[in-house]
Chain A
């Protein structure tokens, strides 16, 4: 097997047509479809939808060039409520479908909306391969640590011991940490945010959309019906101040009086600032090629949510799958002198070993 050098393509949404300069600014209303939103009252999905509808106009993209693809689950109803192109597909398969769409259409901005069951259980394979390939997609993973649509079974992010409809004595399987999983799958952009923090979510979405390649944004989302309050401690102002470790590029990672320092064997730990050895205090490097530190940060979380890193874990450039695939096709077509003619195809069909039978 031989390898060849790959060039680095343009950034962000290069290739997706923008609105005309003199076009009137888009509004939230334009991105809102005429369909009645049908999540349960109080569901965190409402807040995420509102943030998204508010954020999309800011991109200045043509609405018709935006596509939302979802799988199955409460969150996957998302596309119906946005007046863009959309597909509500089947369980777990949205990343695969979106890969085909994004690869064949350079002019589209493609979002995937998925949940913890959809992305990490039935669709786990597609998720890791989308991340590995670095397809130009923005994946929003609504994590409520429960199955909502099927009425309350534990999910692959539910904590061990979760008492649910299908685990009356408590769940026994170890949950995934979605951020660690994504980093392990060589994701180029990984972030975490929360349904109720509109400002933070908008910022993260802005960066995720600007990233060329697969962006994975884990969004903590409250399901008031089947798993109410699972992130409550992060929503309480006072508690959040000591628990949420804000990730800011180039800055120390801290919450309240604590700060993240280098620990043993490559790990990181959270210590009181007063006790911290200044030489061991970690500065966040969002663009570090090596994902090890980002991974170590992702491990700081614990089941009690004592420390929860929030923000962008990793944002690095790597050629995207769809750009590279299109480059190969384009180079081949151009090499032939443009789109194939009838004669080119006749030549293909004739091949190298043909013969003539005369009358």
Chain B
């Protein structure tokens, strides 16, 4: 449908993928964030993928310094940030060069021509400007003198030239907002909050934003504007949320529901630090944050607080999880609740701090000395990070065990519209400590046995310091069953090792069965996933079904223990395909456990799977 607009025709689209790219100092993350919020408020469904360098300010104008933000918004259910951008906003030659290969022919490219100087071109190895030599002839290129127009628009202000130039991201946002017929009010409100104390900067940013809108409106550079209608969503109140924020809010909500004060012990590490930042701002919910001297102290403080009756939480990424291993082992032995959030990133070692990966699964499962089972859960989308936090706390407090939450960089920084739950409707109940002796001694006097277990959950009592009559000692040395006294007895050790394992295995009794999405009930192929591959897998499967293929899909949120019906589900299909952003870690576990010949499909590129590539892999299996 084409409607004649005031200055340009308006064309309806069902979906658009935009990538904003520039120098890490160009404010592309902010620009993307604002466009996202506006899209969300318009009712589009969406998914985002921020992609930034590990260096805070890599040398200006170079390829390593390019930062980008991709947004996929649509009038229907969106599952991924999109494989290929329809539009690239490139603030300099480096941004163009770094992203060009991802663009399909015919894509729209908007470039800031002011930045295409000889010097900047040379920095990235362009001898001739790609704007002039035909490199871009199969794209719809819009050269805009973004910087100079912005500076000119701010001519009347007192700002330095540098400050004026810095507002160019708002110009770009204004232009894109016009191009996709989006209102700018929420960004104006945002700017008013951000620059509340600096009226001159606020004024400049508003002027730049407006100038961008006006540029679209008055020049004839763009003949067509686009509109993407709202996506049908369940009625309710929505907000846009990233995985790290959702996880933080989930932890605070769990603390509120259980009545256990939240104590976070954490050491800054990418991409987990935002959880520390968020929680440190939530003291009004009784949250205590301890920025520890190192990763080990972070989990130590959390465990110490848990011994005192708090909801002890530590947040980290892969390298930090390695350092915390011994303390998590102690928590296994002490049988205290502990939440360990690992926001996975590319490894090994420092690896790719700002890129995503799922390669800590085996570390979470087995990365400790001895038989040291812990519960492991993984969120499947940014919004699901909220629910997984509640679930992790439920398991930790019910079973008195460490729970490792495996999120990743993609979920942590990516965002999606989120149906805001009502606190009163959420699961979770107050956790009570043990306050009375639980046994009698030979003389019939009441005594407390710290390792006398609940027959159903096998959890031991949680008696916290300050409780008279229940004084007891715990430690990492093997303990005698029931009494918890030090014991080197061979049979006792064998029993305790098995009891700790049985306790974790028993969690399966209280987790929902693995659900299979198989609408035709005719599928021979099952695509299984875990964690952040949910979106790409679901998108790929949806596309294949639209083409008439039968494909079943299931997603694991509980990785230890697995849902009780996992084996049956796997055995019900001729083929099981398991895409993972590692070299097949879950496949290894499932093959060993269920003797199913799983077809592992892996990629470790620091980026989520493109759903089209997954669809090809699945289709091959369907046709095999």
Given contacts A85-B465, A333-B286, are A64 and B471 in contact (CB under 8 A)?
yes
Residues of chain B within 8 A of A90, CB atoms compared: 326-327, 329-330, 476
B40 close to A103 (CB less than 8 A): no
B293 close to A105 (CB less than 8 A): no
A344 close to B261 (CB less than 8 A): no
Residues of chain B within 8 A of A354, CB atoms compared: 237-239, 420
B249 close to A87 (CB less than 8 A): no
- Judge whether A33 is part of the interface by a CB distance below 8 angstroms: yes
- Judge whether A346 is part of the interface by a CB distance below 8 angstroms: yes
Residues of A50-78 at the interface with B, using a CB-CB cut-off of 8 Å, are 62-67, 69
A329 close to B234 (CB less than 8 A): no
Partner of A345 from the list B256, B293, B467 (CB cut-off 8 Å) is B256
Q: Please measure, in the bound complex, the distance between the C-alpha atom of A230 and the C-alpha atom of B268, giving whole angstroms.
A: 43
Which of chain A's residues has its CB closest to B241's CB? Answer: A351
Residues of A108-152 at the interface with B, using a CB-CB cut-off of 8 Å, are 108, 125-126, 129
Question: How distant is A59 from chain B, measured CB to nearest CB, in Å?
Answer: 15
- Judge whether A271 is part of the interface by a CB distance below 8 angstroms: no
- Judge whether B422 is part of the interface by a CB distance below 8 angstroms: yes
- Judge whether B118 is part of the interface by a CB distance below 8 angstroms: no
B296 close to A64 (CB less than 8 A): no
Given contacts A332-B283, A348-B285, are A355 and B305 in contact (CB under 8 A)?
no
- Judge whether A3 is part of the interface by a CB distance below 8 angstroms: no
Q: Please measure, in the bound complex, the distance between the C-alpha atom of A87 and the C-alpha atom of B336, giving whole angstroms.
A: 12
The tally of residues in B whose CB lies under 8 Å from a CB in A reads: 73
Partner of A101 from the list B233, B284, B308 (CB cut-off 8 Å) is B308
A104 close to B285 (CB less than 8 A): no
B473 close to A80 (CB less than 8 A): yes
B304 close to A355 (CB less than 8 A): no
Given contacts A93-B327, A328-B283, A329-B288, are A353 and B239 in contact (CB under 8 A)?
yes
Question: How distant is A174 from chain B, measured CB to nearest CB, in Å?
Answer: 24
A100 close to B286 (CB less than 8 A): no
Residues of chain A within 8 A of B40, CB atoms compared: 353, 355
Residues of chain A within 8 A of B472, CB atoms compared: 85-86
Q: Please measure, in the bound complex, the distance between the C-alpha atom of A33 and the C-alpha atom of B486, giving whole angstroms.
A: 13
- Judge whether B566 is part of the interface by a CB distance below 8 angstroms: no
Q: Is the interface of B mostly helix, strand, loop or mixed?
A: mixed
Which of chain A's residues has its CB closest to B472's CB? Answer: A85
- Judge whether B421 is part of the interface by a CB distance below 8 angstroms: yes
Residues of chain B within 8 A of A80, CB atoms compared: 473, 475, 486
Residues of chain A within 8 A of B285, CB atoms compared: 333, 340, 344-345, 348
- Judge whether B41 is part of the interface by a CB distance below 8 angstroms: yes
Residues of chain B within 8 A of A342, CB atoms compared: 256, 423-424
Question: How distant is A101 from chain B, measured CB to nearest CB, in Å?
Answer: 4
A69 close to B239 (CB less than 8 A): no
- Judge whether B153 is part of the interface by a CB distance below 8 angstroms: no
Residues of chain A within 8 A of B286, CB atoms compared: 329, 333, 339-340
Residues of chain A within 8 A of B235, CB atoms compared: 356-359
Question: How distant is A96 from chain B, measured CB to nearest CB, in Å?
Answer: 3
Which of chain B's residues has its CB closest to A34's CB? Answer: B485
Given contacts A99-B290, A333-B283, are A353 and B297 in contact (CB under 8 A)?
no
Residues of chain A within 8 A of B330, CB atoms compared: 89-90
B301 close to A129 (CB less than 8 A): no
B466 close to A125 (CB less than 8 A): no
A108 close to B308 (CB less than 8 A): yes
Q: Please measure, in the bound complex, the distance between the C-alpha atom of A149 and the C-alpha atom of B380, giving whole angstroms.
A: 47
A125 close to B294 (CB less than 8 A): yes
Residues of chain A within 8 A of B293, CB atoms compared: 96, 125-126, 129
Q: Please measure, in the bound complex, the distance between the C-alpha atom of A356 and the C-alpha atom of B300, giving whole angstroms.
A: 43
A84 close to B424 (CB less than 8 A): no
Residues of chain A within 8 A of B294, CB atoms compared: 125
Question: How distant is A81 from chain B, measured CB to nearest CB, in Å?
Answer: 9
Partner of A125 from the list B297, B470, B473 (CB cut-off 8 Å) is B297
Taken residue by residue from 276 to 303, chain B's Cβ proximity to chain A (1 for < 8 Å, 0 otherwise) reads as 0000001111111010111011001111
Residues of chain B within 8 A of A126, CB atoms compared: 293, 296-297, 300
B252 close to A345 (CB less than 8 A): yes
Task: Among B237, B293, B327, B465, find the residue whose CB has the most chain A CB atoms closer than 10 A.
Answer: B465
Residues of chain B within 8 A of A328, CB atoms compared: 283
Partner of A356 from the list B238, B253, B290, B303 (CB cut-off 8 Å) is B238
Residues of chain B within 8 A of A35, CB atoms compared: 473, 485-486
- Judge whether B474 is part of the interface by a CB distance below 8 angstroms: yes
Given contacts A97-B307, A100-B265, A342-B424, are A356 and B237 in contact (CB under 8 A)?
yes
Given contacts A79-B473, A88-B475, A345-B252, are A350 and B296 in contact (CB under 8 A)?
no
Residues of chain B within 8 A of A357, CB atoms compared: 43, 230, 233-238
- Judge whether B310 is part of the interface by a CB distance below 8 angstroms: yes
Q: How many CB-defined contacts (below 8 Å) exist between A and B?
A: 213
A340 close to B265 (CB less than 8 A): no
- Judge whether A325 is part of the interface by a CB distance below 8 angstroms: yes
Taken residue by residue from 326 to 362, chain B's Cβ proximity to chain A (1 for < 8 Å, 0 otherwise) reads as 1101100010000000000000000000000000000
Which of chain B's residues has its CB closest to A82's CB? Answer: B473
Residues of chain B within 8 A of A125, CB atoms compared: 293-294, 297
Q: Please measure, in the bound complex, the distance between the C-alpha atom of A326 and the C-alpha atom of B308, giving whole angstroms.
A: 15
- Judge whether B37 is part of the interface by a CB distance below 8 angstroms: yes
Q: Please measure, in the bound complex, the distance between the C-alpha atom of A69 and the C-alpha atom of B423, giving whole angstroms.
A: 37
B305 close to A104 (CB less than 8 A): yes
A329 close to B471 (CB less than 8 A): no
Q: Please measure, in the bound complex, the distance between the C-alpha atom of A78 and the C-alpha atom of B294, giving whole angstroms.
A: 26
Question: How distant is A126 from chain B, measured CB to nearest CB, in Å?
Answer: 6
A103 close to B475 (CB less than 8 A): no
- Judge whether B263 is part of the interface by a CB distance below 8 angstroms: yes
Given contacts A86-B474, A126-B297, are A351 and B283 in contact (CB under 8 A)?
no
Taken residue by residue from 19 to 53, chain B's Cβ proximity to chain A (1 for < 8 Å, 0 otherwise) reads as 00000000000000000010011010000000000
Partner of B420 from the list A103, A336, A349 (CB cut-off 8 Å) is A349
Residues of chain A within 8 A of B474, CB atoms compared: 86-88
Q: Please measure, in the bound complex, the distance between the C-alpha atom of A91 and the C-alpha atom of B286, giving whole angstroms.
A: 31
Q: Please measure, in the bound complex, the distance between the C-alpha atom of A80 and the C-alpha atom of B256, giving whole angstroms.
A: 34
Which of chain A's residues has its CB closest to B303's CB? Answer: A97
Taken residue by residue from 245 to 270, chain B's Cβ proximity to chain A (1 for < 8 Å, 0 otherwise) reads as 00001001100100001010100000
B471 close to A87 (CB less than 8 A): no
- Judge whether A303 is part of the interface by a CB distance below 8 angstroms: no
Which of chain A's residues has its CB closest to B283's CB? Answer: A332
Residues of chain B within 8 A of A96, CB atoms compared: 265, 292-293, 296-297, 300-301, 304
B468 close to A64 (CB less than 8 A): yes
- Judge whether B429 is part of the interface by a CB distance below 8 angstroms: no
- Judge whether B477 is part of the interface by a CB distance below 8 angstroms: yes
Residues of A314-329 at the interface with B, using a CB-CB cut-off of 8 Å, are 325-326, 328-329
Query: Besides A84-B471, A355-B40, 19 other CB < 8 A contacts?
Result: A35-B473, A35-B486, A63-B471, A64-B465, A67-B307, A85-B473, A87-B474, A90-B326, A101-B307, A102-B304, A105-B308, A108-B308, A126-B293, A325-B290, A340-B286, A343-B423, A345-B252, A354-B420, A357-B236
* Interface positions of A (Cβ within 8 A of B): 33, 35, 62-67, 69, 79-80, 83-91, 93, 96-105, 107-108, 125-126, 129, 325-326, 328-329, 332-333, 335-336, 339-340, 342-346, 348-359
A-B contact pairs, 25 of them (CB 8 A): A64-B469, A64-B471, A85-B472, A87-B475, A93-B297, A93-B326, A96-B297, A98-B304, A100-B263, A100-B300, A100-B304, A100-B310, A103-B263, A103-B301, A125-B293, A126-B300, A325-B290, A333-B285, A333-B286, A346-B420, A353-B239, A354-B420, A356-B236, A357-B230, A357-B237
> Which 9 residue pairs are nearest across A and B when measured between Cβ atoms?
A88-B475, A100-B304, A100-B301, A96-B300, A332-B283, A96-B297, A97-B304, A101-B304, A86-B473
* Interface positions of B (Cβ within 8 A of A): 37, 40-41, 43, 186, 190, 193, 230, 233-240, 249, 252-253, 256, 261, 263, 265, 282-288, 290, 292-294, 296-297, 300-310, 312, 326-327, 329-330, 334, 420-424, 465-477, 485-486
